[in-house]
Amino acid sequence: MAGFKTLGDLDLKGKRVLLRADLNVPVADGKVTDATRIERIVPTIREIVKADGKVVLLSHFGRPKGKVDPDYSLEQVAATVADVTGHPVGFVATDWVDVTNAQKAIEAAPPGSVLLLENTRFHPGEEVNDVELAKRMASLGDLYVNDAFSAAHRAHASTEALAHLLPSAAGLAMQAELEALEAGLGNPRKPVIAVVGGAKVSTKIDLLENLVTKVDGLIIGGGMANTFLHALGYGVGKSLAEKDLAETAKRIMETAERHKCAVILPIDGAVAWHFEANAPHRFYGVDAIDPDGMILDVGPSSIERITGAIDDASTVVWNGPLGAFEITPFDAGTVAVARHVAARTKAGKLVSVAGGGDTVAALAHAGVKDDFTYVSTAGGAFLEWMEGKPLPGVEALKAS
């Protein structure tokens, strides 16, 4: 990978390795409900253990706002890390003011141990990228490895300042993620199609403006498509739409035209009169939406058009569902298109990269989460990458 070291460039033998992971996983009733982020760091942990190094895991968990708060203790994640890695995990409490006990625990641990330190956000220095806190962290290790792409949009002590204080490298998960993203937008096989859905244009203006300068086609679905349809003069009835963003939508379409990016909007929609599962619905062309109804999904003609556009693409980058996929039957568009992308990928015709919280849930719902070339577990970091913004956690690895 250009620009920074990877795990293979470090001499791990017998070293204390600070491994920045993203253990900010969903927990309900004391149980981790989705361990994907933990699964992704297993290869890096194995390499360090194999070299008789000591793995010292660093992560944030939730948003405790710089205070020690048992509700946000990483201790509740330790057992799952042990389960998933198949390796005992020693949890080490610290307030990050005095790290002597952590130093001693790491010292006492035999080679090949895996230790998990307390939530880095228990100290206010974490979120302000405090170099003094980063120095205390650095005192606990010989090397720094970052496997937390999903936290790389934060310039925090454990993701940014720390990388400058020790010999640093991208871990295997970070490396895989950056390589997949490079294949998605950095240096992709053309033509490239972006699929962008979700409720609102307002949260994705930067993303849309960046994408239309880079990709050959932009498929817009979800509630945000209604804003574009409204901007083009179509009536969208009672659909979710940000009508005050009509000018923004027009500007995005103009930029797209200048950059020869085809904007593909729905041509029909599944219209219902109540937002609820199995609500009675009918399909309308976008030029004839019932004024009392709301568009909850793309219609069959749109699906045909979208899958046709995907057939002409070599790369697809996807963020956001195309309809209200949480309630049947308005998941139909998202599911059909996701399955089509998965099938083309399996057939070797397509490189497909997807990311963002809702997107991963939608792909899992369609049963194709494992059939894309790469699915990112990142939320905010994936969006900022799609916006074309440099990510501090990645940039710091390049600089060190």
Q: Known catalytic residues? A: 37, 200, 357, 380
- Give the C-alpha separation, 228 to 249, whole Å: 6
Asked if 379 is part of the footprint of ligand 3PG (rule: CB under 6 A), the reply reads yes
Least Å distance, CB 357 to Mg ion, is: 8
User: Which residue intervals of the chain are DSSP H helices?
Assistant: 36-40, 42-50, 75-85, 100-108, 131-138, 172-181, 205-214, 223-231, 246-258, 300-311, 332-346, 357-365, 380-386, 392-399
Least Å distance, CB 24 to ligand 3PG, is: 3
For residues 285 and 380, which CB has a smaller minimum distance to Mg ion in the complex?
380
Asked if 90 is part of the footprint of ligand 3PG (rule: CB under 6 A), the reply reads no
- Give the C-alpha separation, 9 to 342, whole Å: 34
Asked if 191 is part of the footprint of Mg ion (rule: CB under 5 A), the reply reads no
Asked if 104 is part of the footprint of ligand 3PG (rule: CB under 6 A), the reply reads no
Give, as ranges, the residues between 289 and 348 that touch ligand 3PG (CB under 6 A): none
Stretch that binds Mg ion, among 64-72, 152-160, 172-180, 375-383 (CB under 5 A): 375-383
Least Å distance, CB 40 to Mg ion, is: 17
- Give the C-alpha separation, 237 to 304, whole Å: 24
Judge contact between 115 and 105, C-beta under 8 A. yes
- Give the C-alpha separation, 302 to 269, whole Å: 8
- Give the C-alpha separation, 227 to 249, whole Å: 7
Q: Which one among 151, 162, 180, 363 touches ligand 3PG, defined by CB under 6 A? A: 151
Q: Which one among 167, 300, 380, 388 touches Mg ion, defined by CB under 5 A? A: 380
Residue of 183, 114, 173 whose CA lies nearest to 146: 173
- Give the C-alpha separation, 298 to 47, whole Å: 46
For residues 151 and 174, which CB has a smaller minimum distance to ligand 3PG in the complex?
151
For residues 340 and 369, which CB has a smaller minimum distance to ligand 3PG in the complex?
369
Q: Which one among 4, 17, 20, 22 touches ligand 3PG, defined by CB under 6 A? A: 22
151 binds, among Mg ion, ligand 3PG, none (CB under 5 to 8 A by kind): ligand 3PG
Q: Tell me the residue length of the chain.
A: 400
Residue 281's DSSP bridge partners are 272
Burial classification of residue 123, based on how many CB atoms lie within 10 Å of its CB (0-12 exposed, 13-18 middle, 19 or more buried): buried
Residue 27's DSSP bridge partners are 32
Stretch that binds ligand 3PG, among 129-137, 150-158, 190-198, 359-367 (CB under 6 A): 150-158
Least Å distance, CB 90 to ligand 3PG, is: 23
Interface with ligand 3PG: number of residues (CB under 6 A): 8
Asked if 380 is part of the footprint of ligand 3PG (rule: CB under 6 A), the reply reads yes
Judge contact between 359 and 328, C-beta under 8 A. no
Contacts of 225 (CB under 8 A, 6+ apart): 197, 265, 266, 295, 298
Binding mask 192-221 for ligand 3PG (x = CB under 6 A): ------------------------------
Asked if 379 is part of the footprint of Mg ion (rule: CB under 5 A), the reply reads yes
Least Å distance, CB 23 to Mg ion, is: 14
Stretch that binds ligand 3PG, among 10-18, 100-108, 148-156, 323-331 (CB under 6 A): 148-156
150 binds, among Mg ion, ligand 3PG, none (CB under 5 to 8 A by kind): ligand 3PG
CB burial readout 228-244, b (16+ within 10 A) else e: bbbbeebebbbbbbbee
Residues interacting with ligand 3PG, by CB under 6 A? Answer: 22, 24, 63, 150-151, 154, 379-380
Residues interacting with Mg ion, by CB under 5 A? Answer: 379-380
